[in-house]
Structure 1
């Protein structure tokens, strides 16, 4: 971040934007356009409501909204009041939400009634330690006391502005605490890398609970003085209509959305670039983008480091649009570690580590996990990679058992836990299966208790459904094996299972 911006907060950047371009279009939703000033008017009204609930600087405020104007207004109102927002995925099941509330103890929880029944918090009529208020289509849970305050630094830029939830191999959501400095340094670098300016309009398909939506949608737009178009409910038909009816110049999303656009949108309108984050870009997707005549750039990062690297335009052109190799963004350092040594030569795989101002502050109330995630100041990403002959980084895949399906992190252990309790399952191992649209799908390798009893994918899904297991944990492809191959110390030989998958291609 430049020296003159080192004391900025997201709140200050918003106020500066209101002063500079109050009448420019900021937001488009369902054909309605809102200027920066019009949104700010709604933000100020919401600030008064929040103050009436007794909020204090540094309070955690959980927000569970679909991607709509109301949710964005709430986020900006919280930011202006120096509250720490914790956006909740409306797709979270009740156990996930209750786990977060129990651990994070937010002072306020504002939840919106969902049109599609995903109102996991709205449908609660009571919550321990909270009283309830309602307004319009929202329900507010107000905690009986202020137990947590995260505003501890005199320099506001070092105070938290957002807590994004991410799941690791355990499946339990972790709270990634990001400061004003983390977020702003990331988005100044992002805008420079992809030349985001005030002539742009981005289409947002990811909710504000996702790093892409919050960082590259909301904050990037405010910094650039550009505009964003939002979809409350994602479908490719809605995206196609948006591209047709709005001057969308770029889209940053997960591989699933990029796939849908390239394979289903006949008219790309004013789109001049696509950016894919959240997963490794499959070669077939790059080929399709090249055939459609639109550049598809890689933007690699994690919730803890959003973003940290990108495919430079000049390099992309030099390699005929068929590369996802990346270099660090401005202010970022990256390295590859193999057996404790820093790798500098080409084609030697190792663990990717990152350092710089975008790196998160901590995992909320989990100092042990925070400490173990760093190697002498370098954040351990959990991804493997290697340098190519041009010394750009190529992402090879995850070290952990995390599956990234359509940009969503799914714990293979969590899926295994659901499947292993099915009646005829003796043992199970879950793998991420490469998929051009979703990045990965959930594959299950199952050894049966009774091999004579009929068992197939539908049998498994029916049983999981009857046990009210959330659909995101349902395997999408299964292999019936005599036994799960293991090493002498009991570890699964996943390379053998991967060979089975590759043998079917």
Structure 2
């Protein structure tokens, strides 16, 4: 890719190339590349009129809406930093994000269900001593003295204002707050080369282009949703459909109606889709063509089931810190590679596996994964995190363990904290979860180590039964594990059967909340199911 490209130039270039072709669809509303370019320019002009400019943060606290895409592009056009925030965050997390980002402009809605979303944001702004230059709402009925209506999609730039230049390629343009599965939100600072590469990688590896339609099923404020809804269309000419929220029946309807060809996200979405297609096999539905499934918790069996119904699916390894893409299987990859490996290193990416002493290990030797490449973050907003995770040569410590082949294929065995050490024997939580996902009555599983007086750690499992199934008993689950010929040390000795697992907005299981619930934290809502 061209290292001089600026993300702030993408929309006008896309409009010049693809003009009246559909860029993005939300419900019955569809906008062309030219329309999104014009709308974002009108928003950019209004931001400048309010004094927002280069380096300022523009925060969008919204559920999936077209306004997130338009406001992000508008921010880039004036050199500001687009800062989409997932609306799953409440004041506990939101207060920290506001204090860290100190936004010059905010965009929200008055209400989100029963939540007074704008009031929550206002409380956080006041507590942090932050006075934005402008507060926008997305809906006309919510505008008032303090909150202005965001320029609408039919508004055109009035002219007469000279906008600042987009940020230089090496400067921050996108800030995302990620809590992952273990900690409070971290501010991830990305620049033009990283986000442009993140979008184009889907063309490089899967051939996604003008003939394709993607489905943004994750929150658009999350890297997976943002890629599908914004970055991939802007960089490849593909169109996008945004789902308001995850509903597998609605997703299948949209995929069929719009002939959607690709999507990406957590394994939980793929699982729902595969099960829905299996149930409706005889309806002649258009099946989603490609699905990129993030995380080592994607069971190989799930990729194989997807293949059986005509869907190309692949495990992949990604993170917000790498603009969503660390590995991605090429389109021609075999089923075995897609099911049992977590993708091939993306173009321009390097991986180095380190041993306990910090020294590099040979190929196909398990250790701590460090990576570097153009797609990596500029850094966190927290300098302490930068010192802890990024060395002087630009190697980023992912906190994950795995191995890499000589030709760049990676396999993840879990987070460093997800390696269970039972009496000196170390094994991966993900490996145990994969076995549990084979159980016919198990919908989801999460496994982690818990303290054991004699062995150091023992294995604890949280299980969600299938909706139509009788919840399996600990004895039945233990017998099943034994029938799978796994090492006895891997069989959980502590079982919890619950209604659902706590997850991040992107669908990743939050094991730190499960640990807290196990330790008696009543604030964590993990409801057990009686046998």
Which category of TM-score, normalised to the shorter sequence, fits these structures? Answer: 0.7 to 0.9
d(CA) in 2 for partners of 1:309, 1:201: 22
Q: Give the drift of 1:91.
A: 0.7
Equivalent runs, 1:192-207 vs 2, <5 Å: 192-207=204-219
Pick aligned residue for 2:359 from 338, 341, 349? 341
Pick aligned residue for 1:292 from 303, 309, 325? 309
Instruction: Name 2:82's counterpart in structure 1.
Output: 85
Instruction: Name 2:525's counterpart in structure 1.
Output: 474
Equivalent runs, 1:21-420 vs 2, <5 Å: 21-123=18-120, 127-128=125-126, 129-130=130-131, 133=135, 137=139, 156-167=168-179, 171-265=183-277, 266=280, 268-269=285-286, 271-305=288-322, 306-317=324-335, 319=336, 322-339=339-356, 340-346=358-364, 348-364=365-381, 366-375=382-391, 376-387=393-404, 392-400=409-417
Contact 2:80 2:167 survives alignment (8 Å): no
Contact 2:314 2:339 survives alignment (8 Å): no
d(CA) in 1 for partners of 2:201, 2:92: 37
d(CA) in 1 for partners of 2:355, 2:13: 45
Establish whether residue 14 from structure 1 lines up as the match of residue 11 from structure 2: yes
- My pick for the range that moved more, 434-443 or 243-252, is 434-443
Distance 1:261 1:447, change over 3 A: closer
- My pick for the range that moved more, 88-97 or 292-301, is 292-301
Q: Give the drift of 1:296.
A: 0.6
TM-score, with structure 2 as normaliser: 0.72
Distance 1:380 1:240, change over 3 A: same
Contact 1:316 1:323 survives alignment (8 Å): no
Q: Give the drift of 1:48.
A: 2.7
TM-score, with structure 1 as normaliser: 0.75
Runs of 4+ in 1 over 4 A off after TM superposition: 122-126, 131-136, 138-142, 388-391, 401-405, 429-448, 476-479
Q: Give the drift of 1:45.
A: 2.2
d(CA) in 2 for partners of 1:300, 1:251: 15
Deviations 1:359-392 (A, max 9, x none): 100111x212112102442111111112469762
d(CA) in 2 for partners of 1:446, 1:165: 24
Contact 2:289 2:311 survives alignment (8 Å): yes
Q: Give the drift of 1:101.
A: 0.9
Instruction: Name 2:453's counterpart in structure 1.
Output: none
Q: Give the drift of 1:133.
A: 4.9
Q: Give the drift of 1:81.
A: 1.5
Q: Give the drift of 1:11.
A: 1.6
Distance 1:282 1:58, change over 3 A: same
Q: Give the drift of 1:477.
A: 5.5
Contact 1:430 1:444 survives alignment (8 Å): no
